[in-house]
Amino acid sequence: MSNLSAIFKNHKAFIPFVVADDPDFDTTVANIVALAEGGADIVEVGIPFSDPIADGGVIQAADLRAFDAGVRTQTVFEIVAAARKQTDVPIVFLTYLNIVFKYGYDAFCQKCQALGVSGLVIPDMPYESRDDIVPTADKYGIDIIPLIAPTSGHRVEKIAKAASGFIYVVSSLGITGERNEFFNGLKDLVAEIKSYTDVPTAIGFGVHTPEQAKDMAEIADGVIIGSAIVDIVAQKKQAAPEAVEAFTKSIRSAVDEAQEARV
């Protein structure tokens, strides 16, 4: 088990996301540093995949830019290693399972441990398949971050009870991407999760403004923002780090304003 859970102690966490090697190696390293400087508690680094079935157009396009830059799994590790020279911000990977499977679960988790990567978010690995990797991840102190969705229903209990690190609460149905409406039962969903576990929760999928970030941080222990940051990278390209840091600061202060939700 990693130190991820401790980050949320008496503190609302902000977890931004960037895609590795989008648009290139150096910009990604600078973006990770900018996110840390801007006040991110955990940086989520996406490993590009040819067929990202849980992701919307913004992240799909970022994956394609990374492939244009020639990204390999090895490149992603090198990016984190380079960022590690400038920041010790906690990092988790967002990756589809096949990338990890092909690298080898043991070799991949070992590499994560060496790079100080604390956890893996694997959107295409449900509870039923977690035993494929969890024993190996445990060996290296890597948390496998589970997702809980508005549709999880009776599954919430078993997922929550088995969780470590934090729980990624999916804000709405469908795929990643900016949106203005969320599942209206999020408060109840988070409360239900809390009734089963002390593992903290973070809400993601679609959050893109400071106001939304504040709202979500009031419901859960943290908030995850992906597509909005990836969109800045798409617009600004190599000049992204400055804009990414400014955006991160605006979200940071919004999240800090969030009050403990009364649930």
Partner 1 sequence: MKNLTEAKTTKRLGIFANTYGGQYIPETLMTELEKVDHAFHTLKDDPDFQAELHDLLINYANRPSLLYYAKNMTEDLGGAKIYLKREDLNHTGAHKINNVIGQALLAKHLGKKRLIAKTGAGQHGVATATIAALFGMECEIFMGKEDTDRQKLNFYRMELLGAKVHPVTTGSMVLKDAINATLQEWASRSEGTFYVMGSAVGPYPFPEMVKYFQSVISKESKQQLKAKENTLPDMVVACVGGGSNAIGSFADYIDDQNVKLVGVEAAGKGVDSDQTAATIERGSVGIFHGMKSLFLQNEDGQINPVYSISAGLDYPGVGPEHATLAKEGRAQYVGITDDEAVQAFEYIAREEGIVAAIESCHAVAYVEKIAPTMSKDQIIVCTLSGRGDKDVASIAKYKGVDIDE
Q: Select from 93-101, 208-216, 226-234, 241-249 the region that touches partner 1 (CB under 8 A).
A: 93-101
Q: Select from 17-25, 91-99, 214-222, 253-261 the region that touches partner 1 (CB under 8 A).
A: 91-99
Question: Is 157 annotated as catalytic?
Answer: no
Instruction: Determine whether 127 is exposed, middle or buried from the number of CB atoms within 10 Å of its CB (0-12, 13-18, 19+).
Output: middle
Q: Is 144 in the site for partner 1 (CB under 8 A)?
A: no
Query: Left (φ > 0), alpha (ψ -120 to 50) or beta: where does 66 sit?
Result: alpha
Among 22, 44, 63, 231, the one annotated catalytic: 44
* Residue selected from 14, 25, 49, 247 as contacting partner 1 according to rule CB under 8 A: 49
CB distance 247 to 1 below 8 Å:
no
# of chain residues touching partner 1 (CB under 8 A)? 41
Q: Is 99 in the site for partner 1 (CB under 8 A)?
A: yes
Distance between CA atoms of residues 173 and 20, nearest Å: 25
Among 24, 55, 63, 218, the one annotated catalytic: 55
* Two structure tokens written together for 183: 């599942």
Q: 5 Cβ partners below 8 Å, 6+ apart?
A: 164, 165, 166, 198, 199, 200
**Residues 152 to 191 in contact with partner 1, rule: CB under 8 A:** 152-155, 159, 170, 173-175
Q: Is 51 in the site for partner 1 (CB under 8 A)?
A: yes
In this structure, the number of other CB atoms found within 10 A of the CB of residue 10 comes to 6
* Residue selected from 26, 106, 107, 129 as contacting partner 1 according to rule CB under 8 A: 129
What is the closest distance, in whole angstroms, from the C-beta atom of residue 158 to partner 1 in the complex?
A: 8
Q: How far is CA 8 from the centre of its chain?
A: 14
Question: Is 181 annotated as catalytic?
Answer: no
Per-residue x/- track, 71-90, partner 1 (CB under 8 A): -xx-----------------
Q: 72 Cβ partners below 8 Å, 6+ apart?
A: none
79: closest CA among 38, 133, 18, 140? 18
User: ω into residue 23 within 30 of 0, thus cis?
Assistant: yes
* Residue selected from 29, 58, 148, 240 as contacting partner 1 according to rule CB under 8 A: 148
- Closer Cβ to partner 1, 164 or 248, answer by number: 164
Distance between CA atoms of residues 260 and 253, nearest Å: 15
Q: Select from 67-75, 111-119, 207-215, 222-230 the region that touches partner 1 (CB under 8 A).
A: 67-75
Amino acid at 235: Q
Q: Is 235 in the site for partner 1 (CB under 8 A)?
A: no
What is the closest distance, in whole angstroms, from the C-beta atom of residue 138 to partner 1 in the complex?
A: 19
Which residues does the annotation mark as catalytic?
44, 55
Name the site residues for partner 1 (rule: CB under 8 A). Answer: 49-54, 56, 60, 67, 72-73, 97-103, 123-129, 131, 146-155, 159, 170, 173-175
